[in-house]
A and B are shown apart, each in its own frame.
Chain A
Amino acid sequence: GAGVSQSPRYKVAKRGQDVALRCDPISGHVSLFWYQQALGQGPEFLTYFQNEAQLDKSGLPSDRFFAERPEGSVSTLKIQRTQQEDSAVYLCASSLYAAAEAFFGQGTRLTVV
Protein backbone atom coordinates (compact mmCIF):
# COMPACT_ATOMS: atom_id res chain seq x y z
CA GLY A 1 0.00 0.00 0.00
CA ALA A 2 0.92 3.65 -0.23
CA GLY A 3 1.21 4.24 3.48
CA VAL A 4 1.15 2.66 6.91
CA SER A 5 -2.23 1.14 7.64
CA GLN A 6 -3.58 0.46 11.13
CA SER A 7 -6.69 -1.36 12.21
CA PRO A 8 -9.06 -0.97 13.85
CA ARG A 9 -9.19 2.84 13.88
CA TYR A 10 -11.23 2.82 17.06
CA LYS A 11 -11.57 0.18 19.74
CA VAL A 12 -13.65 0.25 22.90
CA ALA A 13 -12.73 -2.46 25.39
CA LYS A 14 -14.18 -3.35 28.74
CA ARG A 15 -11.68 -3.35 31.58
CA GLY A 16 -10.03 -6.75 31.73
CA GLN A 17 -10.58 -7.56 28.06
CA ASP A 18 -7.70 -8.48 25.74
CA VAL A 19 -7.18 -6.43 22.57
CA ALA A 20 -5.06 -6.81 19.43
CA LEU A 21 -4.03 -3.89 17.26
CA ARG A 22 -2.70 -4.44 13.73
CA CYS A 23 -0.14 -2.52 11.70
CA ASP A 24 0.62 -2.95 7.99
CA PRO A 25 3.86 -1.06 7.30
CA ILE A 26 5.01 0.36 3.99
CA SER A 27 6.24 -2.49 1.80
CA GLY A 28 9.98 -2.98 2.05
CA HIS A 29 10.41 -1.03 5.28
CA VAL A 30 12.75 -2.90 7.55
CA SER A 31 12.10 -0.93 10.72
CA LEU A 32 8.78 -0.83 12.55
CA PHE A 33 7.94 1.10 15.71
CA TRP A 34 4.99 1.27 18.06
CA TYR A 35 4.25 4.44 20.02
CA GLN A 36 1.61 5.35 22.58
CA GLN A 37 0.11 8.84 22.55
CA ALA A 38 -1.89 10.04 25.53
CA LEU A 39 -4.28 12.95 25.11
CA GLY A 40 -2.41 16.23 24.77
CA GLN A 41 1.00 14.57 24.78
CA GLY A 42 3.59 13.61 22.21
CA PRO A 43 3.97 9.97 21.22
CA GLU A 44 6.01 7.79 23.57
CA PHE A 45 8.12 4.90 22.29
CA LEU A 46 6.91 1.39 23.07
CA THR A 47 8.90 -1.07 20.96
CA TYR A 48 11.05 -1.48 17.84
CA PHE A 49 11.42 -4.26 15.27
CA GLN A 50 14.07 -4.74 12.65
CA ASN A 51 12.47 -7.22 10.26
CA GLU A 52 11.06 -9.92 12.54
CA ALA A 53 13.46 -9.28 15.41
CA GLN A 54 12.22 -7.23 18.35
CA LEU A 55 15.34 -5.27 19.20
CA ASP A 56 13.96 -2.93 21.82
CA LYS A 57 10.91 -3.35 24.02
CA SER A 58 12.04 -1.02 26.77
CA GLY A 59 9.02 1.26 26.38
CA LEU A 60 6.37 -1.37 26.98
CA PRO A 61 4.69 -0.22 30.21
CA SER A 62 4.00 -3.65 31.67
CA ASP A 63 4.10 -7.36 30.92
CA ARG A 64 0.48 -7.06 29.79
CA PHE A 65 1.81 -5.52 26.57
CA PHE A 66 3.19 -7.80 23.89
CA ALA A 67 4.19 -7.11 20.27
CA GLU A 68 5.16 -9.37 17.42
CA ARG A 69 6.15 -9.18 13.77
CA PRO A 70 6.56 -12.86 12.86
CA GLU A 71 7.27 -12.52 9.13
CA GLY A 72 8.96 -9.15 9.18
CA SER A 73 5.97 -7.33 7.72
CA VAL A 74 2.64 -7.03 9.56
CA SER A 75 2.89 -6.37 13.27
CA THR A 76 0.42 -6.86 16.10
CA LEU A 77 0.39 -5.11 19.46
CA LYS A 78 -1.53 -7.08 22.05
CA ILE A 79 -2.69 -5.77 25.39
CA GLN A 80 -3.93 -8.28 27.92
CA ARG A 81 -6.36 -7.51 30.76
CA THR A 82 -6.79 -3.90 29.65
CA GLN A 83 -6.88 -1.17 32.29
CA GLN A 84 -8.27 2.36 32.10
CA GLU A 85 -4.77 3.81 31.99
CA ASP A 86 -4.21 1.94 28.71
CA SER A 87 -6.64 4.33 27.00
CA ALA A 88 -4.60 6.18 24.38
CA VAL A 89 -3.87 6.35 20.68
CA TYR A 90 -1.48 3.63 19.55
CA LEU A 91 0.62 4.67 16.58
CA CYS A 92 2.66 2.47 14.29
CA ALA A 93 5.51 3.85 12.18
CA SER A 94 7.81 2.27 9.61
CA SER A 95 11.03 3.33 7.96
CA LEU A 96 13.55 1.94 5.48
CA TYR A 97 16.08 1.65 8.28
CA ALA A 98 16.16 2.76 11.89
CA ALA A 99 17.38 6.34 11.52
CA ALA A 100 15.54 7.08 8.26
CA GLU A 101 12.37 9.09 7.94
CA ALA A 102 9.57 7.38 9.81
CA PHE A 103 6.07 7.31 8.36
CA PHE A 104 3.13 6.97 10.70
CA GLY A 105 -0.23 5.32 10.40
CA GLN A 106 -3.41 7.05 11.51
CA GLY A 107 -3.36 5.24 14.82
CA THR A 108 -5.79 3.13 16.79
CA ARG A 109 -7.71 5.00 19.46
CA LEU A 110 -8.25 2.62 22.37
CA THR A 111 -10.80 3.48 25.03
CA VAL A 112 -11.04 1.21 28.06
CA VAL A 113 -14.33 1.51 29.94
Chain B
Amino acid sequence: QKEVEQDPGPLSVPEGAIVSLNCTYSNSAFQYFMWYRQYSRKGPELLMYTYSSGNKEDGRFTAQVDKSSKYISLFIRDSQPSDSATYLCAMNDYKLSFGAGTTVTVRA
Protein backbone atom coordinates (compact mmCIF):
# COMPACT_ATOMS: atom_id res chain seq x y z
CA GLN B 1 0.00 0.00 0.00
CA LYS B 2 1.32 3.42 -0.95
CA GLU B 3 1.79 6.07 1.74
CA VAL B 4 -0.38 8.52 -0.21
CA GLU B 5 -3.49 7.46 -2.13
CA GLN B 6 -5.09 9.70 -4.75
CA ASP B 7 -7.78 8.81 -7.27
CA PRO B 8 -6.18 9.38 -10.69
CA GLY B 9 -9.49 10.27 -12.32
CA PRO B 10 -9.74 11.57 -14.97
CA LEU B 11 -12.19 14.25 -13.89
CA SER B 12 -14.12 16.34 -16.44
CA VAL B 13 -16.27 19.30 -15.37
CA PRO B 14 -17.97 22.21 -17.13
CA GLU B 15 -16.56 25.69 -16.79
CA GLY B 16 -17.71 27.35 -13.58
CA ALA B 17 -18.15 24.10 -11.64
CA ILE B 18 -16.49 23.32 -8.35
CA VAL B 19 -13.67 20.81 -8.61
CA SER B 20 -13.14 18.59 -5.58
CA LEU B 21 -9.94 16.59 -5.18
CA ASN B 22 -8.77 14.52 -2.25
CA CYS B 23 -6.05 12.27 -0.90
CA THR B 24 -5.62 9.94 2.01
CA TYR B 25 -2.36 9.08 3.70
CA SER B 26 -1.08 6.58 6.20
CA ASN B 27 2.03 8.16 7.76
CA SER B 28 1.15 10.08 10.94
CA ALA B 29 4.57 11.76 10.83
CA PHE B 30 3.57 13.96 7.91
CA GLN B 31 3.36 17.56 9.09
CA TYR B 32 3.22 19.58 5.89
CA PHE B 33 0.64 19.16 3.15
CA MET B 34 0.82 20.52 -0.34
CA TRP B 35 -1.03 20.62 -3.61
CA TYR B 36 0.89 20.94 -6.83
CA ARG B 37 -0.44 21.61 -10.31
CA GLN B 38 1.35 20.06 -13.26
CA TYR B 39 0.71 20.99 -16.86
CA SER B 40 1.71 18.59 -19.60
CA ARG B 41 5.48 18.41 -20.08
CA LYS B 42 6.10 20.84 -17.22
CA GLY B 43 7.37 20.46 -13.68
CA PRO B 44 4.98 20.54 -10.70
CA GLU B 45 4.04 24.05 -9.55
CA LEU B 46 3.17 24.66 -5.89
CA LEU B 47 -0.46 25.78 -5.39
CA MET B 48 -1.12 25.43 -1.68
CA TYR B 49 1.06 24.73 1.36
CA THR B 50 -0.46 24.01 4.76
CA TYR B 51 0.99 22.94 8.06
CA SER B 52 -1.88 22.04 10.35
CA SER B 53 -5.41 20.77 10.27
CA GLY B 54 -8.02 23.22 9.04
CA ASN B 55 -8.75 25.28 5.96
CA LYS B 56 -6.57 27.58 3.92
CA GLU B 57 -7.96 29.74 1.16
CA ASP B 58 -6.14 31.45 -1.69
CA GLY B 59 -8.35 33.03 -4.31
CA ARG B 60 -10.43 30.32 -5.96
CA PHE B 61 -8.51 27.56 -4.19
CA THR B 62 -9.27 26.10 -0.76
CA ALA B 63 -7.17 23.41 0.89
CA GLN B 64 -8.47 21.35 3.79
CA VAL B 65 -6.49 19.11 6.08
CA ASP B 66 -7.99 16.65 8.57
CA LYS B 67 -5.06 15.03 10.36
CA SER B 68 -7.31 12.91 12.57
CA SER B 69 -8.73 11.21 9.46
CA LYS B 70 -5.49 11.47 7.45
CA TYR B 71 -7.46 13.13 4.67
CA ILE B 72 -6.73 16.24 2.63
CA SER B 73 -8.80 18.03 0.02
CA LEU B 74 -8.47 20.74 -2.59
CA PHE B 75 -11.45 22.67 -3.90
CA ILE B 76 -11.36 24.87 -6.99
CA ARG B 77 -14.26 27.31 -7.27
CA ASP B 78 -15.47 28.82 -10.53
CA SER B 79 -13.23 26.49 -12.52
CA GLN B 80 -11.73 27.77 -15.75
CA PRO B 81 -10.39 25.91 -18.82
CA SER B 82 -6.93 27.12 -17.76
CA ASP B 83 -7.31 24.99 -14.61
CA SER B 84 -7.10 21.87 -16.79
CA ALA B 85 -4.04 20.05 -15.50
CA THR B 86 -2.92 17.22 -13.26
CA TYR B 87 -3.20 17.98 -9.55
CA LEU B 88 -0.81 16.23 -7.20
CA CYS B 89 -1.16 16.06 -3.46
CA ALA B 90 2.09 15.79 -1.52
CA MET B 91 3.16 15.38 2.06
CA ASN B 92 6.43 16.24 3.66
CA ASP B 93 8.53 14.98 6.51
CA TYR B 94 11.63 16.30 4.81
CA LYS B 95 11.15 14.67 1.41
CA LEU B 96 7.91 14.77 -0.50
CA SER B 97 5.62 11.79 -0.87
CA PHE B 98 3.21 12.30 -3.75
CA GLY B 99 -0.12 10.89 -4.75
CA ALA B 100 -0.52 9.56 -8.28
CA GLY B 101 -2.15 12.80 -9.45
CA THR B 102 -5.68 13.53 -10.68
CA THR B 103 -6.09 14.73 -14.25
CA VAL B 104 -8.72 17.46 -14.46
CA THR B 105 -10.32 18.82 -17.63
CA VAL B 106 -12.52 21.93 -17.45
CA ARG B 107 -14.74 22.11 -20.51
CA ALA B 108 -15.51 25.55 -21.96
Contacts and interface: CB of A to CB of B under 8 A. Distances in A.
Interface of A: 4, 6, 31, 33, 35, 40-45, 48, 56, 59, 91, 93, 98-99, 101-107, 109
B52 to A, nearest CB: 13
Contacts of A4: 43
Contacts of B6: 42
A43 B96 contact: yes
A91 B88 CA distance: 14
Interface string B72-105: 0000000000000000101011111111110000
Interface of B: 4, 6, 8, 31-32, 34, 36, 41-46, 49, 88, 90, 92-101
A33 B94 CA distance: 10
Contacts of B95: 33, 45, 48, 56, 59, 98
A48 to B, nearest CB: 6
Cβ-closest 3 pairs across A and B: A42-B98, A98-B94, A104-B43
A103 B41 CA distance: 16
Point out which of B36, B90, B96, B98 has the most chain A C-beta atoms below 10 A from its C-beta: B96
Nearest to A42: B98
B6, B31, B88, B98, most chain A CB atoms within 10 A: B98
Contact of A106 (B8, B31, B42, B93): B42
